[in-house]
Amino acid sequence: MSFETLGLSAELLRAVADQGYTEPTPIQAQAIPVVLEGRDLMGGAQTGTGKTAGFTLPLLQLLSVHANTSTSPAKHPVRALILTPTRELAAQVEESVQTYGKYLPLKSTVVFGGVNIKEQIAALKSGVEILVATPGRLLDHVEQKTVNLSKVEILVLDEADRMLDMGFLPDIKRIIALLPAKRQNLLFSATFAGEIKKLSDQLLTDPVLIEVASRNAAAENVTQVIYPVDHERKRDLLAHLIKSENLQQVLVFSRTKHGASRLAQQLEKDGISATAIHGDKSQQQRTQALAEFKAGTVRVLVATDVAARGLDIDQLPHVVNFDSPNAPEDYVHRIGRTGRAGSSGEAISLVCADELRMLAEIESMLKRELPRKTVPGFEPGAAAQIAARAGFADRPRREPRPAEHPRTREGRDSREGRGVAPRPQVNPLDAPYVTPPPAPKAAVQPGPTSHSSQRQAAKKPIPALLMRPATPPSEGN
């Protein structure tokens, strides 16, 4: 199928061709005609599927019908509102709007917290048809009366499940109450359960449901491997893997902001250039960290789930789950950072005893067992055995401090989100290790998956991070 058959205008087809896209992805092929018809849409598409273009292209086409080149701000009211959970995703979506809309006389801007509101006010004042926003900052503008939402024709909730996870539901409801009742609504979410179902029932009118790839199914072109390892050996194993396998451009997930910073510092001490990105960092620090990672001057980017949510990284070869995610769905989001848009990637998970329950949940969701691999000297219990041989068998093992294993989403204490109920504590004894047989070299078990050949393929030149240029810091956040 080609983009030409989807009913897109010449200006949009030209912008798509400029990007080098030859054919629409499945979500684009299905969503574009539906949105062009003016229907409400419930889209189940995980990140990396091309969903942004899936809603941006038809949205631009619908708005272009009444587009004008007038210099009067009044002639450019906000006609489309796109809400996203994070600043990074907001910036990235607005960049897509500009990329695909470059041959159309439509104006757009993005507003999110952590940067100076004055520049945003000036941009809004000059008139924009398309506004991309995070909910909190948008409400700041509403309160300051620097935005008027009474002419919105199309509302997009991108990564709606994540917005609810982050506690944005009350903000979203307040925003929806400010919009005209008659409008088109597009909702994208990786899951359709619970609160999302309720929200979609309230929001959408006779929606068309589109799901691409089975929900919660991990991207097929990602090789996944589990390294069982003792908690206190994780960092050494990570450093060992990065060095021995010469991994470049590694995105590492840490469960906590503190853990992310500490791990980046420790890797630096091990001689591996690393930086951390999380909600306590200023926008400028986050942008800088991404730029360094993109340029290849920093080899490892350690991120929390919330901070990593909006990163668009093409062909990122390696994602590492240093800490297991808080929910199985997050695993899919995380590994969606690699193997994007057709390129292959590798997802490595370092799993210690108290994360086995979560691993079981992930495998149950994926409906398959992931291959285990061990590295001699890093097998679970190896440190204890060495200590035993050296006569230190009864020295107590250091247990992880509670701060290293909070069973809460990052949003709980993050300024990016609001409270989320903690998951129940896991009893580590419920899930015994399956110790792999000893092997001379790194051995995969069970299953036939070998990722060395794919790794070769994945060692491609580096990613393009679709980020806006650095925005000056202000206000703190």
- Interface residues with ligand AMP (CB under 6 A)? 21, 24-25, 28, 47-53, 312, 314, 340-341
Tokens of 473: 């810091």
CB of 18 to ligand AMP, least distance (A): 12
- What lies within 8 Å, CB to CB, of 233 at 6+ separation is 378, 382, 383
C-beta of 88 vs 416, nearer to ligand AMP: 88
* Tokens 């996870």, located at residue: 165
Residue 374 CB, shortest distance to ligand AMP, in Å, is 34
Measure the CA dihedral 121/127/133/139, to 10°: 60
Closest CA to 28 of 73, 77, 61: 61
CA within 13 Å, CB half, 317: 24
Q: Is 126 helix (H, G, I), strand (E, B) or coil?
A: coil
Q: State in angstroms the smallest separation of the CB of 413 from ligand AMP.
A: 27
| 253 or 378: CB nearest ligand AMP | 253
Q: Of the two residues 48 and 371, which places its CB atom closer to ligand AMP in the complex? A: 48
Residue 51 or 235: which CB sits closer to ligand AMP? 51
Max CA distance (Å), the chain:
82
Closest distance between ligand AMP and the C-beta of residue 294, in Å? 13
Cβ 400 to ligand AMP, closest distance in Å? 34
What do you get for the CA distance between the two ends of the chain, in Å?
A: 45
What residues contact residue 420 under an 8 Å CB cut-off, 6+ apart?
A: 165, 166, 167, 408, 409, 411, 412
Minimum CB separation of residue 50 from ligand AMP in Å reads 3
Q: How far is the CB of 357 from ligand AMP (least distance, A)?
A: 30
Q: Which is nearer to ligand AMP, 24 or 371 (CB)?
A: 24
Which CB, 234 or 340, lies closer to ligand AMP? 340
| 215 or 407: CB nearest ligand AMP | 215
DSSP state of 179: S
Q: Between residues 94 and 312, which has the closer beta carbon with respect to ligand AMP?
A: 312
Which backbone phi and psi does 108 adopt, to 5 degrees?
Answer: -140, 160
The β-bridge partners of 302 are 252, 276
Cβ 301 to ligand AMP shortest distance, Å? 17
Do residues 317 and 461 make contact, with C-beta atoms less than 8 angstroms apart? no
Q: Is 81 left (phi over 0), alpha (psi -120 to 50) or beta?
A: beta
- Helix, strand or coil, per DSSP, at residue 54: helix
Q: Is 470 helix (H, G, I), strand (E, B) or coil?
A: coil
Compute the least distance from the CB of residue 51 to ligand AMP, in Å: 5
Distances 403 to 257, 275, 406, 407 between C-alpha atoms, Å = 10, 20, 6, 9
Dihedral of CA atoms 275, 279, 281, 282 in degrees, nearest 10, equals 130
In the numeric block, which tokens belong to residue 468?
């806006």
Decide whether 48 or 317 has the Cβ nearer to ligand AMP.
Answer: 48
CB 279 within 8 A of CB 414: yes
Query: Which H or E element spans position 349?
Result: strand 345-351
| Residue closer to ligand AMP, measured from CB, 52 or 185 | 52
CB of 22 to ligand AMP, least distance (A): 7
Q: Report the residue number, 28 or 477, with the smaller CB distance to ligand AMP.
A: 28
AA identity, residue 50: G
CB of 44 to ligand AMP, least distance (A): 13
